[in-house]
Amino acid sequence: MKTRVLEWLFKYGALLVIGLIILFLSIMNKNFFTYGNLTDILRSISIVTFVAIGVTFSLTVDGFDLSVGSTVSLSTVVAAALMVWYNQPLWIVITVPIVLGAVIGLLNSFLIVKVRIPDLLATLAMMYIISGVHRTFTKGYTIYNNMQLTDGTTAPGKFTESFLWFGQGRWLGVPVPVILMVLTVIAVHLFFKYTRWGRQMHFIGGNEEAARLSGVRVKRIRVAAYVASGVFAAIGGILLASRIGTGQIDAGAPYLMEAVAAVFVGYSVFAAGKPNVIGTFFGAILIGVLVNGMTMMKFQYYVNDIIKGSVLVLALAVTFVHLSRRRS
**15 pLDDT above the threshold of 90:** no
Closest CA to 305 of 249, 260, 257: 257
Using alpha carbons, list the distances in angstroms from residue 119 to 68, 200, 221, 266, 311: 13, 19, 15, 21, 25
Residue-wise pLDDT for 270-288, tens only, equals 656 678 899 899 989 988 8
Residue-wise pLDDT for 181-219, tens only, equals 999 999 999 999 999 999 999 889 888 888 888 888 989
**43 pLDDT above the threshold of 80:** yes
Model pLDDT, residue 271: 59
Q: What is the pTM of this model?
A: 0.92
Residue 316 in any domain: the answer is yes
Model pLDDT, residue 72: 96
**16 pLDDT above the threshold of 90:** no
Q: How many domains does the chain have?
A: 1
Residue-wise pLDDT for 297-324, tens only, equals 877 777 777 877 787 777 667 666 666 6
Residue 234 · residue 97 · CB < 8 Å: yes
**96 pLDDT above the threshold of 90:** yes
**10 pLDDT above the threshold of 80:** no
Model pLDDT, residue 270: 64
Q: Give me the domain span that covers residue 64.
A: 9-327
Q: Residue 314 maps to which CATH number?
A: 1.10.3470
**326 pLDDT above the threshold of 80:** no
Model pLDDT, residue 275: 84
Residue 323 in any domain: the answer is yes
Model pLDDT, residue 164: 94
Residue 144 in any domain: the answer is yes
Cα torsion angle, 257, 202, 237, 96, sign:
positive
What is the residue-averaged pLDDT of the chain?
87
DSSP H stretches of helix in the chain: 2-28, 35-60, 68-84, 90-109, 119-138, 161-168, 176-194, 196-206, 208-213, 218-244, 253-266, 277-296, 303-327
Residues in the chain: 328
Residue 4 in any domain: the answer is no
Sequence-distant (6+) residues with CB within 8 A of 1 are: none
Q: Which H/E stretch holds residue 141?
A: none
Model pLDDT, residue 31: 85
pLDDT average, residue stretch 75-95: 94
Model pLDDT, residue 12: 73
Residue-wise pLDDT for 213-263, tens only, equals 888 898 999 999 999 999 999 999 999 999 999 988 888 888 998 898 888
**265 pLDDT above the threshold of 90:** no
pLDDT class of 17 with cuts at 50, 70, 90: confident
Q: Which residue has the higher pLDDT, 105 or 312?
A: 105
**9 pLDDT above the threshold of 70:** no
Model pLDDT, residue 107: 96
Residue 131 in any domain: the answer is yes
Residue 1 in any domain: the answer is no
Side chain identity at residue 245, one-letter code = G
pLDDT average, residue stretch 54-61: 94
pLDDT class of 34 with cuts at 50, 70, 90: confident
**5 pLDDT above the threshold of 90:** no
Model pLDDT, residue 154: 85
Residue-wise pLDDT for 142-195, tens only, equals 898 988 887 778 888 889 999 999 999 999 888 999 999 999 999 999 999 999
Residue 2 in any domain: the answer is no
